[in-house]
């Protein structure tokens, strides 16, 4: 799956409470893992999750998603431990680390600081790289050609209808000719639809990178505490390896390695 087009809807997740209390209050709450948020893959249906880390932490060994398990749920020692779902289901003997909420937050802060320390360079280059990667000029030229071809086919179809009305033409021959023109029109239309689809998908990818760059620009030079909004807007996912090492993937595809 192309994880580049994963987009998280912070508006939906930032309920009135977030507006009232502010983002920093959020990160102070020990039970913020019950906050609802939503995300969408490839602009598909919006998926609501009850936990900010759900669907964002993966086992690097088997590729399975990390799932939270609450330990000592009835006591004050209650804590959430994340582990490979394959391990929970006893299907796979993955040696990847189990992580607590606090450990995940600390890993995220470490990774965010790596990005923060190079944000000036990142902001400077990210948009120009993205414009090159998601360049629309070939697709726009293709759309112009397809439109021209459609106009030409439409005009030929009109000519054929007019000719058929004005003179006695063999009807089988006329139908064959007309159908060939329609086929030409439909082929051009399909080309246009494909080109326009490509342009739209490039534009939405560019918009995603632009949002990411703006979020990076807003980052402090040093991230000293976990901020859920920063996590959801900047970090795409985390891949947990064995040996206490985690790869953190950012929204622009950049990956950084951090350790516990
Ligand atoms: Zn695993």
Helix (H/G/I), strand (E/B), else coil: 19: helix
- pLDDT for position 8: 62
Q: What is the pTM of this model?
A: 0.64
- pLDDT for position 40: 66
The reply to whether 252 falls in a domain is: yes
**DSSP assignment string, 52-113:** TTTTTEEETTT-PBEEEEEESTTSTT-EEEEEEHHHHTTS----PPPEEHHHHHHHHHHHHH
Q: Which helix (H) or strand (E) holds 10?
A: helix 10-13
> 């505490």: which residue's tokens?
225
- pLDDT for position 31: 33
What is the spatial distance between Cα 132 and Cα 206, in angstroms, rounded to a whole number?
A: 10
Helix (H/G/I), strand (E/B), else coil: 42: coil
The reply to whether 131 falls in a domain is: no
Number of domains comprising the chain: 1
The reply to whether 9 falls in a domain is: yes
The reply to whether 218 falls in a domain is: no
What is the spatial distance between Cα 235 and Cα 114, in angstroms, rounded to a whole number?
A: 12
- pLDDT for position 84: 87
Full domain range(s) for residue 71? 3-117+223-259
Ligand 1 centre distance from Cα of residue 92 (Å): 6
pLDDT tens, the chain, 260 aa long: 555 677 665 433 333 344 555 555 544 443 333 334 556 677 665 554 567 898 899 999 888 888 888 777 777 777 888 988 877 676 667 888 899 999 999 999 999 999 999 998 888 888 888 889 999 999 999 999 999 999 999 999 999 999 999 988 899 999 999 999 999 999 999 999 999 999 999 999 999 889 899 999 999 999 999 998 899 889 999 999 988 889 999 988 889 999 98
The reply to whether 137 falls in a domain is: no
Determine contact, residues 47/82, Cβ cutoff 8 Å: no
Ligand 1 centre distance from Cα of residue 112 (Å): 25
- Closest by Cα among 66, 109, 106 to 220: 109
Tokens found for residue 148: 């021209």
Ligand 1 centre distance from Cα of residue 234 (Å): 24
Ligand 1 centre distance from Cα of residue 94 (Å): 5
Ligand 1 centre distance from Cα of residue 17 (Å): 36
The reply to whether 165 falls in a domain is: no
Ligand 1 centre distance from Cα of residue 63 (Å): 6
The order of strands in the sheet holding 79-84 is: 66-71, 79-84, 99-100
Ligand 1 centre distance from Cα of residue 14 (Å): 32
The reply to whether 31 falls in a domain is: yes
The reply to whether 17 falls in a domain is: yes
């Amino acid at each position: 799956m192309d994880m580049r087009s994963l987009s998280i809807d912070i508006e939906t997740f930032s309920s009135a409470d977030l507006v009232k209390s502010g983002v920093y209050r959020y990160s102070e709450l020990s039970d913020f893992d019950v906050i609802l948020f939503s995300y969408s893959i490839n602009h598909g249906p919006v998926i609501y999750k009850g936990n900010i880390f759900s669907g964002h932490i993966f086992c690097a060994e088997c590729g399975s998603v990390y799932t939270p398990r609450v330990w000592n749920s009835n006591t004050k020692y209650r804590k959430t431990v994340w582990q490979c779902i394959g391990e929970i289901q006893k299907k796979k003997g993955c040696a990847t680390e189990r992580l607590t909420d606090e450990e995940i937050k600390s890993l995220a802060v470490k990774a965010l600081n790596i990005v923060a320390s190079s944000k000036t360079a990142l902001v400077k280059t990210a948009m120009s790289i993205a414009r090159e990667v998601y360049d629309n000029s070939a697709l726009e030229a293709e759309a112009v050609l397809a439109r021209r071809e459609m106009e030409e086919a439409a005009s030929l179809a009109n000519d054929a209808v007019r000719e058929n009305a004005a003179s006695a033409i063999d009807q089988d021959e006329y139908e064959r000719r007309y159908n060939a023109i329609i086929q030409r029109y439909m082929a051009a239309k399909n080309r246009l639809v494909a080109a326009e689809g490509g342009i739209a998908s490039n534009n939405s990818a560019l918009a995603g990178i632009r949002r990411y760059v703006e979020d990076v620009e807003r980052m402090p030079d040093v991230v000293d505490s976990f901020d859920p909004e920063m996590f959801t807007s900047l970090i795409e996912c985390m891949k947990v390896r064995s040996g206490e090492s985690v790869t953190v993937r950012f929204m622009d595809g950049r990956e950084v390695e951090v350790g516990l």
